[in-house]
Structures are given as C-alpha cells and as structure tokens.
Amino acid sequence: MGSAVAESILTRPRQPDINGSMINHDATHQLTALRAGTLTAQELMAETLDRIDAVNPAINAIVALRDRDTLLDEAARATPGPLQGLPMAIKDLAETAGIVTSYGSPAFRDHVPTADCPMVARLRRAGAVIIGKTNTPEFGLGSHSYNPVYGVTRNPYDHTRSAGGSSGGAGAALATRMVALADGSDMMGSLRNPAGWNNVFGFRPSYGLVAGGGPGDLFLSQLSTDGPMARSIRDLELLLSILSEHDPRHPHSNGPYRPEAQGRKLRIGWLSDWGGAYATEPGVLDLCKGALRVLEGLGHSVTTLAPPFSAEALWSAWTTLRSWTIAGKLEPLLRHAPEMVKPELRWEIEQGLARTGAEIQRASAIRSDWFRATASMEVDILALPSAQLFAFDADWSWPKEIAGTTMDTYHRWMEVVVPASLTGLPALCVPAGFGPSGTPMGLQLVGHRGQDATVLNLGREYEAAVDWISQAPAGDGNSSSI
C-alpha cells in the first residue's frame, strides 16, 4: 500500500505547532500526535464527531454517518498502518462495505455493499476508520453536489452558494475541519472544482497512478480517476502514496507514487481563458494571475500562451467520449428504472447510445493529437483557473450563463478542466484567494503525464509562500489549520 513512502512522509520535519483543537491541524500532524501517544484515536474520533455535530447540519457535507459508540470502539482497535486511527469519510460514489452507498440516486437509497472497492480497501488496510460518506451529485454528474437522497451541500464560506462537485462533500468537510483527509474522484474537474471553491488542495493524478477497479471495461475508458484532497501538500502525498498501490489486475496501473526532491525552476504556460473561448466571470483570472505572480517570485518563469489547440475540437472529443463512457456504464438504469434518472443523466446516456464507432474513433484521434501537442510544448506546467466562475447559488441546478454567454449544456461552465482530463494529465488545484463575494477560487497546475511529483513539488513551494488555507470559514470554531 505504499507504506514505506507513507512512513517517510510522516517523518518529515513538521511545521510549528499551532494552539487549538487537534482537528484544526492537518492529517500528518494528527497522525504524528497519535504515534507519539500525546493523542489517542478515541480522543481524535470524539473531537471529529463533535465537530460534525456542530457544523454539518448547516453544510450537509457528511452523509450516512455511523453510530458514535461504534466509531469510538473502532478507533480504539484501528488497524496498524500509516493512517492508523484517522477518521475518514468516503465519497458516496465508492462502494464501502457495511455503509449505504447511494451514488446520490434514489435507485440506490438503501444499497449497502458487502465488500469494499479497491480504493476503500486500501484505506482500511492503512488504518483509516471510515465514519460515513461525503455527499455528491447523482452518479457524480455535474459540479454541484445535490441529490434527492441527501439534498444540497453548501459552501462553508457562504451557505447560500454551492460547494462544487462532484467531490463537493469532501471539499466542504475538509474546509470545515470535519475531516483532515478526503478521497475525491475526477472526470470533469470533480475534485479540482470543489478544491478551488472550498479553499483546499485537490490533486488529479496521471491516469493509471491510482488504479480503479471493479467489473467492466478497464482498457478503453481513461477519463476518470480517484485522487486525494487535503489541507496541505504533505497530506496529499501521504494519501496518494496509499491510493496509488500497484494493482496487477488493472492494465494501466503504474503506481506506487514516488516523491522526488525539489528540482529545477519550471517554465509555466498561462492559458487564461483560452483566448476567449472559455467564458469567465470577472475576477477569476485576476486571482489566478495573482497566484502566478507568487510562483514568479519563487523563481519560476510564467509566459502567457496563445491557445495551443482548438477549444471546440477538445470539447467535441470530450463530450463524445464522456457520453459514450457514461452510457456504457449506466444505460441499464435508464432501461430498467427510467423514473429514477435525472434529466442530465438521461441526456448523457441518450447521447452516448447515439454515438457511432466512427465518431468514437475521431474523438480518440483528437485526444491523441492533443496529447502530442502537450508533449511537445516548451513549458513544464500549464496553468488555468479551476472553474470559470465563482461558487453559484446553491438552489440552482447549474449556471445557465457566464458573463453574458449562454451555457448550452449542464457542464459547459466547467470546460476549463477538459484539457487535463482528456489526456489524463496530472493536475493540482491550489487556492488562489477569494472573490468579491468572499468565496474561494483555485488555480490548476497541469503537468506532463507521469510528472506528478514535479507538480506536487511546485504546489509545496506555493503553499509555503501563501497563507490561504489558514483562512478557515467563519463560525466553524477554528482559526488555524496545520
């Protein structure tokens, strides 16, 4: 499970202690205290559950929460390992034994798996204590976490706004210190968008570094991956070292993650709004450019790039491959329980079923051309906003326009994440500050395939130079993080 790497991360020099509740610190700090015996797993669990009781009713990030006495008992008997005794909640798209896994769908409202998916199994073997689930939209579709089973997850910085998605519950739980580590999954920005909107870090690894599992195709579809979310880069690396355990049953598995020493200064290409192709709310680009100035101050070079590829070609390839993938997985639900299928999912399935073999081939050819284009770029990192607008009204299904431009699909407002997703590039979302309404925004740092450690090292330098993470949501009972 990458335990040797995890052990080395846990023994790195710690940042100075900060007074206050232990759950206001990052996971690495908590685990160090557990190992030193200055904190017991039961004490940490009790603090965690107290925080959930106090904060979650207004946020609705944690769902399917398990019984307190049972969790305290499990904490006392936690499996030895790099996460021994750490409370974690699993995104409600991942099969988790003994806990309702609803996918946010009424069709699975009472679904209790008898076995863990591979990702959850890795976490349990590492010693994590699973307390429940984090909220998500139905089947993870849409970057706004609401569903008919559990309702809406709200932004910790403004409860009238969305927490993003589909890992919105995870992002909000991290921001409010209800958990210190969270798993996310990312097809179309599903961990990058909520990381940006909740002022935390989210990392989409190179495709294959975190091997998915379960029945069905493992060769053709390469659009989605699991990844870590956290309040520090060292925590991202810790969780990634566990999630990236090599799986010989998966044809693309290439883990485990191996950290690297800080390297050379990097060349960063700023893609802004892709030459105007991506409608963007005023203020978003300014915050991202401010984050890039921080990186320039650290000695990295930043160059504004002209659009390196047709945005419309990328969008065409993406929507073709995405709908085809979704239809292949969820068409049986539409066939057997059409009344349980929300309009956006119905549309995706119907689009996917209508695709021809020739269309799939053309889309994959565009994907290949884009990969070749990125591989030949004379920059090490591409930079883009993590979303095209600030967190929108939590009562909306999705934004219908941005800066006067109509969104023609339920997900067009997240087009900015497609360049990394389409070819499985590693993409780190770092906090970039707060917009005029007081909600956060993030910056994507996208690397070459397999250069995950390079991207995370850059994030670590940035983290040391800014202090966004310490700006916790008001009213959640804390004022510090790590």
Q: Detail the DSSP E strand segments found in 200-328.
A: 201-204, 225-230, 267-270, 301-304
Q: Strand, helix or coil at 161?
A: strand
pLDDT of residue 9: 40
Question: Cβ contacts of residue 86 below 8 Å, gap of 6+?
Answer: 27, 30, 31, 34, 44, 127, 128, 129, 180, 181
The DSSP bridge pattern shows strands 267-270 and 62-63 to be unpaired
Best CA proximity match to 439, nearest among 383, 394, 399:
394
User: What parts of the chain have a pLDDT lower than 50?
Assistant: 1, 3, 5, 7-19, 477-482
The DSSP bridge pattern shows strands 129-134 and 405-406 to be unpaired
Residue 223: count of CB within 10 angstroms of its CB: 21
Beta bridge partners of 151: 147
pTM value?
A: 0.94
pLDDT tens column, 73-113:
999 999 999 999 999 999 999 999 999 999 999 999 999 99
What would the two tokens of residue 255 be? 């883990």
Q: Where are the domains of the chain?
A: 3-308+377-465
Residues 328-362 as b/e (b if ≥16 CB within 10 A, e otherwise) read eebeebbeeeeebbbebbebbbebbeebeeeebee
Using a 10 angstrom Cβ sphere, with 0-12 exposed, 13-18 middle and 19 or more buried, the burial of residue 480 is: middle
What would the two tokens of residue 69 be? 């006495």
Residues 265-285 as b/e (b if ≥16 CB within 10 A, e otherwise) read ebebbbbbbbeebbbbbebbb
pLDDT tens column, 196-205:
999 999 999 9
Sheet holding 129-134, edge to edge: 62-63, 129-134, 87-91
What would the two tokens of residue 85 be? 């005794």
Q: Which helix (H) or strand (E) holds 292?
A: helix 284-297
CA distance 464 to 261: 16
3-308+377-465 maps to CATH 1.10.10.10: no
What would the two tokens of residue 6 be? 């995890």
CA distance 433 to 386: 12
